A and B are shown apart, each in its own frame.
Chain A
């Protein structure tokens, strides 16, 4: 029982982390209708940005965290204005391929700089202490900090999307780009905003994953795969769906790793995906009949 509670909380922190990464993908897909495979490398580069600012320069974790968000947000805007703008009108295959190309380019750059695969730690607040519940439940402070950060991010995201004018323009664009443009919404500005937020969410996920584990040049692939599965599971483009799906996946993953073994834990996301595809291809919150 004690181990179960501990794994539940660890799974929650991992799942929330994945949900942050997936929310960035879901937002970009929901508003802009593009799947950005390079998102995985934004997560990885976010980790390295945090590493450089926090560990190498030697500042507080949150300085690195916000630096990662800002830099990855700007990188998102740069990708939008050079590549995804052209891709938006193209078929799905073109979008996936070109973003795969970007994935390779960014990955190479990171390998070139940090390719020795040394363990690169990022100090996170809360690593020094742990929460003791009852007799032998011990929960790392860093996990609790992660959960707190992700909660803050989701509240912030909710506020931006549903309570501000900018958010309204984004939702209008998601519902119908052309109509929104006719209503005087500037398409380019919405696009830049969406990619900034998406990139920043990816960067913050990377910062937290870097804090919990280590920063490595190949750390983007696993979260990318999980995020892709999460947005299918949650329903393409649905932010709430992404959060709930991320939580379910993270908790299931941790419980399986703990009780069955790490190899089977890796199979969990795919098992979930297969069941979702069989039972509800449109995802938890997707509209029925809108599969493609």
Chain B
């Protein structure tokens, strides 16, 4: 009986996205503290890259360990074209930045997708390190180890996204587009193709799926959003240097996804929020915070593969079970093995 009362999946989706939009608006309206706003901005910037990356890592099962490189490309293209070389406007450069990351990712995808599993991860790790070395040494474009500074804040007409409060609007809008496009892809044909690839790539190919096309598409998709995230990061930080785009920044994206929950869209977002606030909490521990984070990863991978979002869902199911609404709780995932 209770299932009848639940809205249809389309209606649920609309309600869900309205809630997301409402949360973003509420955060903007209610968080007055500049410091907290700044945290939200950097979390949002990370999410812009991490949610699409979740499709690549979680839905498709290809763990790229070099996404930080693409974030860096996006940031340095902005840095190069707005300050270092040409002094163009942010909005004129953003499409250039997107095109360059897309072309770069597409080119490398031919090489990388000759690999699977470990090989793919190691190949992307090497790509990330290669891009980092390029940032560090190609001084004409990147300014070398000292980086690029004086990147202007973007503006629309007279409205400059100068303060944190205004910049939050920019990040929130782009985050919404990033999350929505990821969701749109995951729910349709592409999403089914991705899970087919994750479950058995050879079978999917044998059944006539053009596996390489889908893999390349998602890789480029994730790289482009990583680049956009980097572009916003550059505009937010005003000055950038190679230390922000090391292999460690790539690992961090992987960590967000695994802690939040792989194979879901909300998981990576929750991972970003959780780790951003965990970082604040354990900042006092100095070097020990890496130990806490490392232990958290090991424990999550070994014992809680669903991550935080999986844990939340499990608790919700237990709670619903307790009040006898178990069937309704199961309804959203008809294919899941119970």
A and B part of one assembly: yes
Residues of A within 8 A of B (CB): 35, 83, 86-87, 90-98, 100-105, 107-109, 111-112, 115, 221, 225, 228-229, 232, 236, 263-264, 266-267, 269-270, 273-274, 277-278, 281, 291-292
- In addition to A93-B61, A97-B301, A229-B126, 13 A-B residue pairs with Cβ atoms within 8 Å of each other are A92-B118, A98-B297, A101-B298, A108-B291, A109-B291, A112-B287, A264-B137, A270-B127, A270-B133, A274-B126, A278-B114, A281-B114, A281-B119
In the complex where A86-B302, A92-B117 touch, is A263 in contact with B297 (Cβ < 8 A)? no
Residues of B within 8 A of A101 (CB): 293-298, 301
- A5 smallest CB distance to B (angstroms): 28
Residues of B within 8 A of A94 (CB): 301, 305
B295 touches A225 (CB 8 A): no
In the complex where A101-B301, A274-B111 touch, is A269 in contact with B119 (Cβ < 8 A)? no
Who on chain B is nearest to A217 by CB? Answer: B287
Residues of B within 8 A of A277 (CB): 111-112, 114-115, 123
Cross-interface CB contact of B294 among A96, A102, A264, A281, cutoff 8 Å: A102
The answer, yes or no, to whether B161 is at the interface (CB within 8 Å) is no
A291 touches B111 (CB 8 A): no
- B33 smallest CB distance to A (angstroms): 31
A232 touches B119 (CB 8 A): yes
Residues of A within 8 A of B121 (CB): 92-93, 96
- B266 smallest CB distance to A (angstroms): 19
The answer, yes or no, to whether B94 is at the interface (CB within 8 Å) is no
Return the 9 tightest CB-CB contacts between A and B, nearest first: A104-B294, A101-B297, A292-B116, A101-B298, A108-B291, A105-B294, A92-B117, A98-B301, A108-B290
B125 touches A225 (CB 8 A): yes
A35 touches B294 (CB 8 A): no
The answer, yes or no, to whether B41 is at the interface (CB within 8 Å) is no
A291 touches B295 (CB 8 A): no
- B307 smallest CB distance to A (angstroms): 11
Interface residues contributed by chain B, number (CB under 8 Å)? 42
B287 touches A96 (CB 8 A): no
A108 touches B287 (CB 8 A): yes
B298 touches A83 (CB 8 A): yes
A108 touches B294 (CB 8 A): yes
Chain B interface mostly: helix
A105 touches B111 (CB 8 A): no
B288 touches A96 (CB 8 A): no
A292 touches B117 (CB 8 A): yes
* 27 examples of A-B residue contacts, CB within 8 angstroms: A35-B122, A90-B301, A91-B61, A92-B117, A94-B301, A95-B118, A96-B65, A96-B118, A97-B301, A98-B298, A98-B301, A100-B251, A101-B293, A101-B301, A102-B294, A104-B291, A105-B290, A105-B294, A107-B290, A108-B288, A109-B291, A115-B287, A270-B126, A270-B133, A273-B123, A273-B126, A292-B118
Residues of A within 8 A of B61 (CB): 91, 93
A105 vs B301: C-alpha distance when bound (angstroms):
15
A205 vs B187: C-alpha distance when bound (angstroms):
49
A103 vs B294: C-alpha distance when bound (angstroms):
8
For window 257-303 of B, CB contacts with A under 8 Å fall at 258, 262, 287-288, 290-291, 293-298, 301-302
The answer, yes or no, to whether B136 is at the interface (CB within 8 Å) is yes
The answer, yes or no, to whether B130 is at the interface (CB within 8 Å) is yes
Residues of B within 8 A of A86 (CB): 302
Residues of A within 8 A of B194 (CB): none
